């Protein structure tokens, strides 16, 4: 006999657990099925451990550069096992809190690998011999690290991010294949730990999803930091050798290093789970959904990395909450339908040194959409707090002529902390004059955002407008 719930969620990562929590708050009886640990990629193998590693990297840089601030100190050693154990302790604390939250909300957690099947004419999730049914099901099985043909992740010399996070000894040299967010973050941290890093990127620039000015700024700083970058270069072959790995590029260049991190993107975890077999349409492996995140099967939804678009934890949270509220609205529990989740309104952060923040449209995207646009870049050289931190970078605004700000792009140490204000500006369609009227605390990096808007509003303070 099938166990019956109001909602069954398959996968307890950011998208799945957020959906379960919101649904439980709305008094749904929820089953959350997870084959590994509640929290998923972000908590156990993604956002949290990488950011802990990057924080340790920042500590290393602070020690190394202490003399520039009159504090003389030296690094004795980088104990990578110690870094991993620090990251583990952060993950463990968050995991404990999250598990408590899930339990206290009365959610039934089912431990096991689930599969979408049909039972008595209904879609259900089966785990071993048990069946879990509900009027609404949510697919939230996430994503996996992709590789390239002929490049098999062996976990020893050819690593994906999962293995790279478990390394207990630093390599002397590493090739990072892929200059997207994950590749750039690892390259940054490893360089801070003293590793000789080469990034290989097939596209002409790093972080190619960002405004080109941001890529240029990142590449400038990475070059100064001693990170080698080979862009516009595709890998043609790769072999392991006795001492490490040897990679040949399409232009004949040969690179050697102790190990390779393969960071060429993440694919949706949709195979072998019964999705297409039960009528759930896929496209390039991603689950096809409408704007309400409903799949081709009515009553079956998909959230998070399974859905084509930005693969970010906070987008997964937003998807999960949306689906729970949408179901509640359709069943009459909520009066108003929730607002649909649009990727353009999702903030993007790369936590390397320097950090990168973007929200909304790049200059080129805005030009394509609106024709003419106005832009302004405020150099962090004019920002007191950035000078104190000795960071370089800028805040770039993109605005519709005589209209609202449609894109904010920032690069520099610690700019991730400005992402909240940046998203309020674009998501509330603020005009430069609206933001120029807000008072930004001095000295803070948020002043750079204020100054850029003052300039676009025609009344620059510490810039030439």
Catalytic residues: 442
As beta bridge partners, residue 407 has 360, 398
User: Residue 342 CA to chain centroid, in angstroms?
Assistant: 16
Let me know if 208 is exposed, middle or buried by CB neighbors in 10 A (0-12, 13-18, 19+). Answer: middle
Q: What is the side-by-side order of every strand in the sheet holding 235-240?
A: 235-240, 245-249, 254-257
Sheet holding 136-139, edge to edge: 108-111, 30-34, 7-10, 136-139, 300-302
Query: Residue 37 CA to chain centroid, in angstroms?
Result: 19
> Is the Cβ of residue 180 or residue 432 nearer to ligand FAD in the bound state?
180
CB of 337 to ligand FAD, least distance (A): 23
CB closer to ligand FAD out of 3 and 438: 3
- Retrieve residue 158's tokens: 């050819």
Closer by beta carbon to ligand FAD, 184 or else 405: 184
Size of the chain in residues:
465
CB of 311 to ligand FAD, least distance (A): 4
User: What is the SS3 assignment for 116?
Assistant: strand
Least separation in angstroms between CB 286 and ligand FAD: 11
Are the CB atoms for 30 and 161 separated by under 8 Å? no
Inter-residue contact 458 to 374 (CB < 8 Å): no
Report the residue number, 40 or 244, with the smaller CB distance to ligand FAD.
Answer: 40
**Which residue, 41 or 362, is less far from ligand FAD as judged by CB?**
41
The least distance separating ligand FAD from the CB of residue 144, rounded to whole angstroms, comes to 8
Distance in angstroms (rounded) separating the CA atoms of residues 177 and 165: 16
DSSP string covering 210-273: S-HHHHHHHHHHHHHTT-EEEES--EEEEEE-SSSEEEEETTS-EEEESEEEE-S-EEE--TTS
* In the complex, least distance from residue 187 CB atom to ligand FAD, rounded to whole angstroms: 12
Instruction: Please report, as ranges, the residues that interact with ligand FAD according to CB under 6 A.
Output: 10-16, 33-36, 40-42, 45-47, 50-51, 113-114, 140-143, 161, 182, 269, 273, 304-305, 311-314, 316, 351
Q: How far is the CB of 312 from ligand FAD (least distance, A)?
A: 4
User: Is the separation of the CB atoms in 267 and 105 below 8 Å?
Assistant: no
Shorter beta-carbon distance to ligand FAD: residue 192 or 311: 311
């Amino acid at each position: 006999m099938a166990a019956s719930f109001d909602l069954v969620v398959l996968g307890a990562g950011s998208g799945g657990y957020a959906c379960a929590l919101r649904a439980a708050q709305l008094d749904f009886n929820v089953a959350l099925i997870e084959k590994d640990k509640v929290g998923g990629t972000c908590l156990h193998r993604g956002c949290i451990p990488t950011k802990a590693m990057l924080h340790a990297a920042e500590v290393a840089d602070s020690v190394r550069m202490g003399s520039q601030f009159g504090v003389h100190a030296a690094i004795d050693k980088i104990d990578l096992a110690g870094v991993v154990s620090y990251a583990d302790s952060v993950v463990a604390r968050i995991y404990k809190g999250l598990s408590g939250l899930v339990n206290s909300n009365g959610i039934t957690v089912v431990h096991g690998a689930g599969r979408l099947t049909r039972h008595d004419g209904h879609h259900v999730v089966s785990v071993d011999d048990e069946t879990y049914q509900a009027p609404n099901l949510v697919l939230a099985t996430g994503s996996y690290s992709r590789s390239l043909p002929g490049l098999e992740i062996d976990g020893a010399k050819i690593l994906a991010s999962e293995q790279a996070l478990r390394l207990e000894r630093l390599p002397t040299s590493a090739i990072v294949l892929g200059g997207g967010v994950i590749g750039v973050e690892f390259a940054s941290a490893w360089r801070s730990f003293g590793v000789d890093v080469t990034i290989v990127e097939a596209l002409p620039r790093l972080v190619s999803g960002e405004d080109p000015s941001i890529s240029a700024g990142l590449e400038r700083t990475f070059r100064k930091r001693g990170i080698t970058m080979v862009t516009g270069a595709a890998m043609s072959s790769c072999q392991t050798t006795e001492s490490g790995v040897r990679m040949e590029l399409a232009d004949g260049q040969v690179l050697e290093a102790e190990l390779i991190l393969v960071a060429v993107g993440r694919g949706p975890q949709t195979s072998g789970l019964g999705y297409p077999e039960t009528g759930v349409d896929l496209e390039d492996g991603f689950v096809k959904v409408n704007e309400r995140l409903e799949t081709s099967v009515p009553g079956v939804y998909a959230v998070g990395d399974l859905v084509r678009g930005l693969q970010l934890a906070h987008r997964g949270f937003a998807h999960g909450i949306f689906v729970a509220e949408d179901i509640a609205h359709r069943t009459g529990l909520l009066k108003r339908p929730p607002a649909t989740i649009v990727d353009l309104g999702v903030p993007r952060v790369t936590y390397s040194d320097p950090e990168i923040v973007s929200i909304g449209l790049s200059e080129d995207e805005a030009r394509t959409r609106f024709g003419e646009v106005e832009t302004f870049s405020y150099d962090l050289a004019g920002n007191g707090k950035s000078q104190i931190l000795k960071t370089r970078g800028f805040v770039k605004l993109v605005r519709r002529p005589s209209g609202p700000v449609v894109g904010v792009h920032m690069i520099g140490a610690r700019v991730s902390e400005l992402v909240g204000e940046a998203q309020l500006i674009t998501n509330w369609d603020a005009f430069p004059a609206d933001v120029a009227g807000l008072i930004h605390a001095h000295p803070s990096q948020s002043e750079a955002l204020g100054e850029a808007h003052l300039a676009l509003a025609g009344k620059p303070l510490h810039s030439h407008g």
